[in-house]
Amino acid sequence: MSLVAKYLQPEVVRQIRRLDLRAQCIVKGFFQGLHRSPFHGFSVEFSEHRKYTPGDDPKDIDWIVYAKTEKYYVKKFEAETNITGYLTLDLSRSMGYTYRQEVTKWEYAVSLAAALCYLMIQQQDPVGLFAFDEKVRTSLRPKSKRTQLGDVLSILARAQPTGRTDVAASLTQIAGMLRHASLVMLFSDLLGQPEPILQALYRLRHRGHDVIVFHILDEAEVRFPFDGLVELEEPETGQWVEVDASDFRHAYLEQMEKFRDTLRRECARAKIDYVPLDTSMPFDRALSEYLINRSQRS
Amino acid sequence: MTFLNASLLAGTVLVAVPILLHLLLRRRPRRVEFPAVQFVQERQVPQQRRLRIRHWLLLALRVGVIALLSLGLARPSVIFSGDWALEEEPVAAALIFDTSLRMEYRHENQTRLERAKELGLWLLAELPQQSEVAVLSSRAAPAAFEVDRASARERIRRLEPSADSQPLPAAISRALDLLEQSEKRLREIYIFTDLARAAWPRETLPTLRSQLEKTLGLSVYLVDVGVPEPKDFALGTLELPRQILSSRGTLVVQTHVESIGLAGACTVQLEMEEQDPATGRRRWQKREEKVCQLQPGQAEQVVFRLRGLGTGIHQGQVRIVGGDALPGSDVRYFTIAVKPPWHLLLAAPTAPHLVPSFVTEALAPREFRLTGQARYECRLIPQEELAQSDLAGYAALMLLDPKPLEDALWQKLAGYVADGHGLAICLGRNAQPIDSFLTPAAQSLLPGPLQMQARRPDFDTFLAPADRQHPILAEFRRLSGTVPWDAFPVLCYWQLGQLAKGVNVVVSYSDGRPALLERPVGKGRVLTLTTPLTDDTNHEPWNLLPVGDAWPYLILVNEMAAYLVGAAERQLNYTVGQMVVLQLEGAGGRRSYVVTAPDGMTFTAQTEGAAGPLVLSPPPLPGNYRVQASGSPDGGFSLNLPPEQTRLDRLGPEELNDLLGLRNVRLARSRQEINRHVSLGRVGQELFPLLIALVACLWAAELLVANRFYKDEPKERKGTR
């Protein structure tokens, strides 16, 4: 089975092909330009003036303003082009976890990323890739060629979620690597302290990137299906705790809900899309629902 | 605490197993990979504490189950009395039956003794084989183990109520002595009692308690066969002011009727035993009847008066008409002797201050003399005529404030007294000169030498009888505390020197000096009063005894006379258990008598000497006894039950606690209770059921806790793939 067939099954394609991924705020022309001029590159649409500083391209000087004010101002233009999407996947070991032994979080994330990659390529939008654990391990320049999907999946198929993770540091690193405002699609379980992660997301957002957080958890992490006395071992650090799961379920679910609520609330405040998912949810349906919802909001 | 299978206690070492398992081989919880541990850790600390507590709880439950199981299998028992034994181990048992007449109380058509015997026979059959058994009653009989059960059974069957019962502590004491001789390890005393207070005198309980406490291996079972609320009319003690009466006197019989739990009319009859002239047989003749209306707990006095009895011995009974539950309390017997009037000779010098009529009127008041009721025929003579008088016809002689007498007269009087007569010497101001009363002849009758006239002009000296046991003081005994002696002061009296041997002070003055003294001389007695009875109050009297409402004076004079003639101290009525001592008249040296008991049985009895009294060991049967010898008038006496023998009031809770407070004493009322208590006493309280129940509870708790701890593990370990 080819990688595309493995991660992007025909029924999934069928499900999402009629949908699109709309930018919310950064790239206004994303949607409009989706079909009109997908290959125009930079737009010439005026955005704002700023004072000329040495080093600026002299051809950008607005001479009309000079004539009126005798000061040099440079015209800024917003790119009116297709959004560049970056699929940003968490490669940490915890992403390889599955309780039911069916789909790991990683596999779930890859499938989801593949679908989105396909969707964007279909829309002529370039798609790039970052995979990180404690730092960015793999990256792929964004392209909108049809071969890009195969390249992306090829890289993801080779990658194995094995290391420890540092989502915040990785996102900060990625933010530094992005030149233009892009659509950053983060696929992670976000296990760790929420504050640094949120800070990193804010930073991305502050730089003008559109951010979608696909918070992928295992079914067991959401439902805590254990009973009796169990020793829970953290796969990345090897730490374990002994608990009476029956007694603990309620407390755990409370904690988990609190965590997701925090993320949901903070992301909403920063106008970041937060999509909570777990591996028991059919991702194509979850994705469809999200995209429809996003479309309605925009 | 004791154990039936003490070796199984070794099983308690198995408690080490769960401890070792807990410490060494503790079951590990299944390890599961779980990335979201961070959320668990935040809430882990309190839960870990709970977990640790549960671990220890589980360990404690498991240790408890094993410990209790091995303890339970060892069959522990709590022993309340002495040593532990198997239930069928032979015992030394004493069965004590209260056989007092009170046990004749009939309830549900069964006397208490019948009920006791029924339970006793059943209990006898229940005793372990090879047990030693003694059957005791409350009669004072030696205790011994029966040869076999058949003889014990027969002895129980033959038990009869008896009037000479002793309080039960005495029988228990005998039983303890007997059980001490037994080699059996277990000793048991079964007391079949109605728990009447009379059977358990309060003063005996401390001694009994210490005896029971000291005896090792002893269990005491009080089998209560009594009725909680008895109902009965009961007669009290019969009181006879005089047992020797003058034929002119009046028989006074008094008692009281008490109701115990009954309300209504109670008829009481006085019946005299008379001989049927036609058949010659003796029969009861009703003479008087009284009806009392009583409420529960109420008592009423009944007094019968009877006149016109001929001389001789008379026997009678007072009884409650109609039967009730306890016949023993319904009848009281009495015997009286009626004699012709006693002849008294009174000698007094002629003197203006001396009024002999004080004494003669006290002994035979004019009204009585006129109506023929006077008990005494008194003859007053001048002292000067005494020497010529024939004294033989007089039962007693009284010298009233005598002047000095010739030695010959003293000797004559001594002879008269020695023959069995009475002499009273009432000393006064005429007893001068003193020397004439100090002669050996005078001193042979007087209690001691006259020393001086003690004057007490302050009206602060009076007669003060201290010990009222003397027959002369019998009447005053009944009036205890109410005689106003201080209203009759003594202003002067003769102070005596060293008293002669055998002299008894009957009454003293309030200053402690002797007033009335008794001296036995030969068969007779001499009473000496150190102050006169005849002083005229207008002539500087030595005392004011006869002045005013002088009823104590009348009683004193009459009692002195009765004592002198022998009517005061003769006893014809006894209670069961008392030694009977009869001074029979006209014995004439006869030594053998036939005594007829109330049930018609006769036996012979001998006097101690030719003129000695007839002494009978305590006869057991209450009723009237006749004593006969050919050629002499009949004698007789009566025996009554001590009233406490028919008192049905039961021990109060406090007294019962005194008894039952002991750990080895138990109270039972039925066969089931006896069985239970005996089982408790021998084996103790088995803790097995309790322990097994506890084991079950602990086990259930252990399962519950363990199940919550260790749910079934999934067959496949899950985690990161």
DSSP 3-state assignment of B332?
A: strand
Q: Which of B47, B710, B721 sits opposite A98 (nearest CB)?
A: B721
B23's CB contacts (< 8 A; 6+ apart) are none
Mean pLDDT, residues B536-554: 88
Q: How confident is the model at residue A9 (pLDDT cuts 50, 70, 90)?
A: low
- The reply to whether A163 touches chain B by the CB within 8 Å rule is no
Q: Is B534 exposed, middle or buried (0-12, 13-18, 19+ CB in 10 A)?
A: buried
DSSP 8-class letter at B329? G
The Cα–Cα gap between B411 and A263 comes to: 145
> Which tokens hold the place of B630?
């050919």
- Residue B115: predicted pLDDT: 93
Q: Could you read off the pLDDT of B437-494 as tens digits, one per residue?
A: 999 999 999 999 999 999 988 888 999 888 777 888 878 877 766 788 889 999 999 9
Angle at B93 between CA B87 and CA B97, to 5 degrees: 130
B77 with B685: CB under 8 angstroms? Answer: yes
| CA A183, A184, A187, A189 torsion-angle sign | negative
- Burial letters B461-481, b for 16+ CB under 10 A, else e: bbbbbeebebbbbbbbeeeee
- Residue A19: predicted pLDDT: 46
The Cα–Cα gap between A188 and A88 comes to: 8
- The reply to whether A100 touches chain B by the CB within 8 Å rule is yes
Torsional class of B108: left (φ above 0), alpha (ψ -120 to 50), beta (otherwise): left
Strand-strand pairing, B218-224 and B342-348: unpaired
A258's CB contacts (< 8 A; 6+ apart) are none
- The reply to whether A56 touches chain B by the CB within 8 Å rule is no
The Cα–Cα gap between B621 and A32 comes to: 139
Closest-CA distance of chain B to residue A230, Å: 5
Q: Which of B32, B38, B711 sits opposite A231 (nearest CB)?
A: B32
C-alpha count within 13 angstroms, C-beta hemisphere, residue B434: 10
> Which tokens hold the place of B116?
């006791």
Within a 10 A sphere around the Cβ of B4, how many other Cβ atoms?
16
A281 with A275: CB under 8 angstroms? Answer: no
- The reply to whether A273 touches chain B by the CB within 8 Å rule is no
Write the CA distances from B207 to A269, B172, B196, B471, B702, integer angstroms: 97, 11, 18, 35, 54
A183 with A209: CB under 8 angstroms? Answer: yes
> Which tokens hold the place of B368?
């009585």
User: ipTM of this predicted complex?
Assistant: 0.72
Say whether B36 and A100 touch across the interface (CB within 8 A): no
Say whether B40 and A232 touch across the interface (CB within 8 A): yes
Distance of alpha carbon A265 from the chain centroid:
17
For testing contact with chain A, the best of B32, B53, B705, B720 (most A CBs within 10 A): B720
Distance of alpha carbon B43 from the chain centroid:
83
φ, ψ for residue A127 (rounded to 5)?
-130, 130
CB contacts < 8 A, A to B, total 125
- Residue A26: predicted pLDDT: 32
- Residue A82: predicted pLDDT: 61
Say whether B30 and A231 touch across the interface (CB within 8 A): yes
> Which tokens hold the place of B218?
């002893």
- Residue B277: predicted pLDDT: 80
The residue among B139, B102, B107 whose CA lies nearest residue B328 is: B102
Q: Which residues of B touch A243 (CB under 8 A)?
A: 40, 44, 47-48, 51
Q: Tell me what the pLDDT averaged over chain B comes to.
A: 83
A1's CB contacts (< 8 A; 6+ apart) are none
Q: Is B161 exposed, middle or buried (0-12, 13-18, 19+ CB in 10 A)?
A: buried
The Cα–Cα gap between B451 and B434 comes to: 8
Q: Could you read off the pLDDT of A158-196 as tens digits, one per residue?
A: 888 888 888 899 998 898 888 788 889 999 998 888 899
φ, ψ for residue B701 (rounded to 5)?
-65, -40
Q: Which residues of B touch A101 (CB under 8 A)?
A: 716, 718, 721
The residue among B191, B107, B198 whose CA lies nearest residue B646 is: B198
> Global pTM?
0.55
What is the SS3 assignment for B344-413?
Answer: EEEEECCCCCECCHHHHHHHCCHHHHHHCCCCEEEEEEEHHHHHHCCCCCCCEEEEECCCCCCHHHHHHH
Q: Which of A229, A239, A248 sits opposite B29 (nearest CB)?
A: A229
- Residue A153: predicted pLDDT: 83
- The reply to whether A252 touches chain B by the CB within 8 Å rule is yes
> Which tokens hold the place of B561?
């006379």
- Residue B416: predicted pLDDT: 92
Say whether A246 and B708 touch across the interface (CB within 8 A): yes
φ, ψ for residue B347 (rounded to 5)?
-120, 130
Please give the helix or strand (H or E) that residue B707 lies within, else none: helix B688-709
The residue among B51, B397, B449 whose CA lies nearest residue A242 is: B51
- Residue B494: predicted pLDDT: 94
> Which tokens hold the place of B570?
């003769």
- The reply to whether A65 touches chain B by the CB within 8 Å rule is no
Q: Could you read off the pLDDT of B104-162 as tens digits, one per residue?
A: 999 888 999 999 999 999 988 888 888 899 999 988 888 889 888 899 999 999 998 88
Q: How confident is the model at residue A32 (pLDDT cuts 50, 70, 90)?
A: very low
Q: Could you read off the pLDDT of B234-280 as tens digits, one per residue?
A: 898 888 877 888 887 788 899 999 998 888 899 999 999 888 888 87
> Which tokens hold the place of B651?
């021990």
Q: Which residues of A touch B28 (CB under 8 A)?
A: 231
